[in-house]
Amino acid sequence: MTFTHPARWLAALSLVAGLSVAAPAHAHEAAAPSSGTILRGLDLDRATVLDMQRAMEQGRFDSVTLTRFYLDRIRAVNPLLHAVIATNPAALQEARQSDQRRRRGAHGPLEGIPVLLKDNIDTAGGLRTTAGSLALLGSRPARDAFLVQRLRKAGAVILGKANLSEWANFRSSPSSSGWSAVGGQTNNPYVLDRNPCGSSSGSAVAVAASLAAVTIGTETDGSIVCPAGSNGVVGIKPTLGLVSRAGVVPLSLAQDTAGPITRNVTDAAAVLSVIQGVDPRDPATVPDGNRDYLRALNPNALAGKRIGVWRSAAGDNQEALDTLDAAVATLRARGATVVDDLELTGMDQAGEAEFSALLIEFKHDVNAYLAGTPGRHPGNLSGLIEFNRRHTSTELRYFGQELFEQAQATTGDLNDPAYRALRETATSLSREAIDSVMAANRLDAVLAPTNNAAWLTSLTKGDDLTDFVASSSPSAMSGYPAITVPGGYARNVLPLGVTFFGGRLSEPTLIALGYAFEQAGHVRKPPTYLRTLP
């Protein structure tokens, strides 16, 4: 990424780093079998969390067995992927407690389901929260993030922490997505020398490779949807405020949100139903965030809907355009009316304002997070910059901290009229772009390409944004929701996603459309673990 064109940078926001994988003599051969996901007759790659719950109810296995399966698989497969930073030392104990609750007949909607959290989501106790940075190894959050409290209340087992782009990729440009000083480089499970995209890279790779039942990611602009699309899974970027931001290491509270990354829409709906909710610590949480999104799962939901297509988001990328064309054909075959080749106006101007606003917001918000988090760690952004300078050989080995330095040079003042004008421009123009195109065309949602084929990972050169495809910015800047689902494959191997997005709190509609599209095509296939393309 470069800063010569802020709009292009924003399309790639929240991407970070990658170690190259050396190719063997037979470079195209699979580095690991894609099988090995069957537990007591249930294929966990294809199963939903509802299937897992039924299996536990029927006594086929219990949560301890399921949790141990994932811990064993992490030990076996994660050395190829570097998707998991740490496992929870109390995971099996939590699973035993879940099994005890089940035997007593009382259990929650995710009872016994192992969940991996992106490592910028606070957990108290023995599971650290580092944002991928060595500077936070001594951080000791006083309590779980609100969304983690919600997961625990629903009976979930916290399996561990997923790798990520360090500091959600707001440290340097150019950089390579999926790298952190704590976790190393995350690799795409379909082709290991390809990049996983996005700062929630570890979450997407882990669930794609069945290292957990479900995972949680976070997004500022593209960090859920891009890795989900690039790794052949489902991701939901919720409406801002649907999921509490309390206890999540911030980039910008004006855009940050956590959301589910899963292998299927059913699981995403189940997880979002759990992690939503009003949090007194986060005044942005919405009072009507109390819906059961599983009720939206209608395989016939496309019939009678009007869906616009934002085709220009694909640019000239033929693979993305072909995938979009196939998606449009599916929509029409399932009874939807398609309004093709729409334009969203004002997005370049919104994107330029967004970048300048994010620099100010990051300084303000990360300073507040660091000041309020116990433990031994730098107390502010200035301290982080100095820490990295003292640890150049590890933190700055491959790329610098230019974004940190640009953010530090701002006032960090959210009351500054100049800042408020920037944020207003970014938010209002993106909302108007979505609202106006939907109203003018009487749309239920907009369809767009999620990503281009994963590029070769390189720490020294950074992300290759040639023919880069992204459609995340309108939803990210507006605070509106989006869902990405598998749409196809480039060269029959590298996953490509399609995104449905719409207006504020339109999650029920988007989940219904995503589910109906998923059920119509059953596009997703398990990872191939190729070392490189032949």
Annotated catalytic residues are 118, 199, 223
Partners of 350 in beta bridges: none
Burial class (CB in 10 A: 0-12, 13-18, 19+), 312: middle
Q: Tokens in use for 308?
A: 């616009």
Largest interatomic CA distance in the chain: 61
- The helix or strand, by DSSP H or E, that contains position 421, with its residue range, turns out to be helix 417-441
Q: Tokens in use for 359?
A: 């620099």
Q: Could you tell me if 66 and 95 are in contact, meaning their C-beta atoms sit under 8 angstroms apart? A: yes
DSSP type of residue 454: P
Residue with the two structure tokens 């087992």: 157
Which of 259, 277, 276 is CA-nearest to residue 268?
Answer: 259
| Cα–Cα dist 463/195, whole Å | 8
DSSP type of residue 117: E
Q: What are the strands, taking DSSP E only, across 153-282?
A: 157-162, 179-180, 184-185, 214-219, 234-237, 257-262
Residue with the two structure tokens 């035993």: 96
DSSP assignment string, 162-192: E--SGGGG-S-SS--TTEETTTEE---SSBT
Q: Tokens in use for 429?
A: 């123009």
Angle at CA 279, nearest 5°, toward 274 and 284? 105
Q: Taking the CA atoms of 87, 88, 89 and 93 in sequence, report the sign of the dihedral they define.
A: negative
Peptide bond into 174 cis (omega under 30): yes
